[in-house]
Structure formats: structure tokens, C-alpha cells
Homo-oligomer: A and B are copies of this chain.
Amino acid sequence: MAFSFRLQATSGRARAGRLETPHGSVETPIFMPVGTAGAVKGLTPRDLTEVGAQIVLANTYHLLLRPGDALVAELGGLHGFTGWQGPFLTDSGGYQVFSLSSLRRLTEEGAFFRSHLDGAAHTLSPERSMEVQMNLGADIAMAMDECPPYPAPHSAVEAATARTTRWARRSQAAQRRSDQALFGIVQGGVFLDLRERSARELVELGFPGYAVGGLSVGEPKQDLHRVLDHLDPILPPDKPRYLMGVGTPQDLLEGVARGVDMFDCVLPTRNARNGQLFTRRGKISIRNARYRTDPQPPDPDCSCYTCRTVSRAYLRHLHLAREITAATLMTLHNLAYYLDTLRLVRQSILLGRFEEFRGEMLRSLAVSAAEGL
């Protein structure tokens, strides 16, 4: 079988597992760097290997517009096209149609929109999303969902959730690649009854993995935690769970504590380009004048290439001079930090001491933040 998941250990509700995909295995919990247009901005495939990336996310919306999914298919799918030989996951494209394009019309059939690049008209339906994702050839594809805005009334979220189930069924019916696993996406906003109904309907359809979508869209953190707490006993324990678009290092810990196995987010990569570094002692903004002559590595406790090689003063200089090497070096560090953090999280789960690890790490981040690093 091309795709499988094995739960290896639990510590409280935190889970350590192993995903097998046609392009290699992934040890969970895992963070997936975002390679929007087929590249993680500023990095090469070997940089990804070096920071410990095991699976990369690519965006269906961006790739279908440019260079086009047919072209990617012609060049061997994402693996042939990009040079990244490990596993890929593609989203359905739906979320970015809502957030980036000028959406013209949303119907039961799908979304009719104009490209944010050239205004060209496109349709994205569950069937078309699957067609694009089959052309892209990622190891994991996502069923198209309808993600309601936040806040929205119960009735509107209920309608979007029901449609998400119908679209999940259509996605499943359209899926024809045996080397590609299709995940369903649980919707339902911050309403626990809708979340529960969505999860039960998707589990009834039966997917090799389940994502939790529609969170981190502006709702309070407690709502995010409540939803995850509520879903944990409903989602099947032997399938991977993916919390979409989340988040900060703290969010990752809170997600793992509630049974999440997979994460993706643009934070580490986007922040790196804006001069924001994540460190074991909290976030630092490299533009800050206090780093002007600071000979320390970005994160003194980090062993990534950037921290082994350059100082905060140098990164600050390169960032202020708008040198693209700054983006590369800071992206390398931020991703190494995220991936290293989840490696330690996993270890603590295997050792049955995740709660202690989580407590120590949250305290350390909080103390550093209070001290202004």
C-alpha cells in the first residue's frame, strides 16, 4: 500500500506516529514548510533536507494559475518539476480562491473566480481541484471544502459545513490516483455541534487522513483549543490529523497536546523575510538597533547552518541592505527551529513525558518574552 499511518506512542493525548508515502516516510508530529509556487521562498531542495524538512506543502491555487497544472504534469509532477524528492502535500486551492482571487460566484458546483495575476476567469470545483491535484501529483491531496468567514452565524456555517461534506464525497469520487492519499477537511467554525457533525460525516465517508480547517481565521485561541479538544475523541486514532494553517511554536505545542499530527504555516518563512526570527528564547526582530553589533548567532541554542555561521549583526546588516541572502539565511534558521522543536516534541512523546516538555518550553518562551529576551 502506497500510503499508511502507524501510531507509535502517545503521551497524554499527544501522538507520535509514522506516515508512509510513495516518496518516503514522515515522522509525526511534523511541520510542513510552505512552498507556495513550487519552491520554499529563498531555499533550494537541499536546504530543505538540511533543515530537516520531511514533507513540503505546495499551493494548488498558485500552481494552477502559474505555471499551470498541465505543465507541471508534463514535467513529471511536483517531484519532477521542483527537485524536491520527498513527500508533497497539496491543498485543494479553495481557501486561496476565497482569500486571493476576486471571487465572482460560489455555487454548489464550485467557485467561479478571476485570477489575481491576470484577471483570467477560472472555475474550481471539487472535480477540477482533484484534476489539478492529480496533475501536481503530491503524495497527499486535500478535498475541496467551503471555509466560512469568521465570525459567521450558525446557520451560515451549517450550510458551508453541509456543502463541505457533499464536496468531500465528490472529491472522493473524482480521485483516481492510487499513489495519492486524499484527506477530508472538517469544517464547522467555532460551533462544536457542527464540528462534530462534520467530523462524523467525513469519518463515515472514510478518508486515510483528516484535516481540521477553518481555524486560525481570527477566532480566540480558546475556541481553537475547544474545537480540537472536542474533535480528538471523534476522529479515528489510527489516521493522521492535520491542523491547517497553524501556527506559532506555542500553537504547535497546544495542537500536539490535543492530538494533532501535522501542521503547516507561512509564519516561519514569511517572518524570516520580514526579519523576524523564532528562537528558543522567543521572537526577535533583527531590525532592532540592539542587534547592531551583536556577535551572537540568531539563536545561541541552535545548531542550524545560519546559527553556526553568522551573527545577528551580520543578518541585521543584510536585512537592512535588502540583500536576498538575508531571507535565505533567516528562512533556514526559522524552519530549522520549527522542525527541531517538533523533533524534540516527538522524542518527549516517545519517552512519555510530553507534558513536562510542553510546560518547560512554554515557560521558557514566556520568561524570555517577559525579559524582552
Q: Which residues of chain A have a CB within 8 Å of any CB of chain B?
A: 37-46, 62, 66-67, 71, 74-76, 81-83, 292-293, 295, 305, 309-311, 313-314, 316-318, 320-321, 323-329, 332
Q: Are A325 and B42 in contact (CB under 8 A)?
A: yes
- Tell me which residues across on chain B come within 8 A of A76, comparing CB atoms: 295
User: How far apart are the CA atoms of A310 and B316 in the complex, in Å?
Assistant: 31
- Tell me which residues across on chain B come within 8 A of A309, comparing CB atoms: 44-46, 83
Expressed in whole angstroms, the minimum distance between the Cβ of A288 and any Cβ of chain B is 14
Expressed in whole angstroms, the minimum distance between the Cβ of A120 and any Cβ of chain B is 15
- Interface residue from B38, B313, B326 paired with A67 (Cβ < 8 Å): B313
Q: Are B75 and A325 in contact (CB under 8 A)?
A: no
Q: Are A328 and B321 in contact (CB under 8 A)?
A: no
Q: Are A321 and B83 in contact (CB under 8 A)?
A: no
Knowing A71-B293, A321-B66, A327-B324, say if A314 contacts B82 (CB, 8 Å). yes
User: How far apart are the CA atoms of A295 and B76 in the complex, in Å?
Assistant: 9
Q: Which residue of B lies closest to A329 (CB)?
A: B44
- Interface residue from B44, B71, B318 paired with A305 (Cβ < 8 Å): B44
Q: Which residue of B lies closest to A320 (CB)?
A: B66
Q: Are A318 and B83 in contact (CB under 8 A)?
A: no
Beyond A44-B328, A67-B316, 6 additional pairs, beta carbon < 8 A: A37-B321, A43-B325, A46-B305, A66-B321, A74-B293, A75-B313
Q: Are B37 and A318 in contact (CB under 8 A)?
A: yes
Q: Are A39 and B318 in contact (CB under 8 A)?
A: yes
- Interface residue from B38, B67, B326, B328 paired with A328 (Cβ < 8 Å): B328
- Tell me which residues across on chain B come within 8 A of A323, comparing CB atoms: 37, 39, 41
Q: Are A82 and B313 in contact (CB under 8 A)?
A: no
Q: Which residue of B lies closest to A332 (CB)?
A: B44
- Tell me which residues across on chain B come within 8 A of A43, comparing CB atoms: 325, 328
User: How far apart are the CA atoms of A317 and B310 in the complex, in Å?
Assistant: 31
Q: Which residue of B lies closest to A322 (CB)?
A: B37
Q: Which residue of B lies closest to A46 (CB)?
A: B305
- Tell me which residues across on chain B come within 8 A of A66, comparing CB atoms: 317, 320-321
Q: Are B44 and A325 in contact (CB under 8 A)?
A: yes
- Tell me which residues across on chain B come within 8 A of A75, comparing CB atoms: 293, 295, 311, 313-314
* Nearest 10 CB-CB pairings of A with B: A83-B309, A39-B325, A67-B317, A37-B321, A83-B310, A324-B324, A42-B324, A39-B323, A81-B314, A75-B313
Q: Which residue of B lies closest to A83 (CB)?
A: B309
Expressed in whole angstroms, the minimum distance between the Cβ of A70 and any Cβ of chain B is 10
Expressed in whole angstroms, the minimum distance between the Cβ of A50 and any Cβ of chain B is 10
- Tell me which residues across on chain B come within 8 A of A310, comparing CB atoms: 82-83
Q: Which residue of B lies closest to A76 (CB)?
A: B295
Expressed in whole angstroms, the minimum distance between the Cβ of A42 and any Cβ of chain B is 5
- Tell me which residues across on chain B come within 8 A of A45, comparing CB atoms: 309
> Which of A43, A82, A329 counts the most chain B CB atoms within 10 A?
A82
16 inter-chain pairs at a CB distance below 8 angstroms, sorted by A residue, are A38-B317, A39-B323, A39-B325, A40-B325, A41-B324, A41-B325, A43-B325, A43-B328, A71-B292, A75-B311, A75-B314, A76-B295, A81-B311, A81-B317, A82-B310, A83-B314
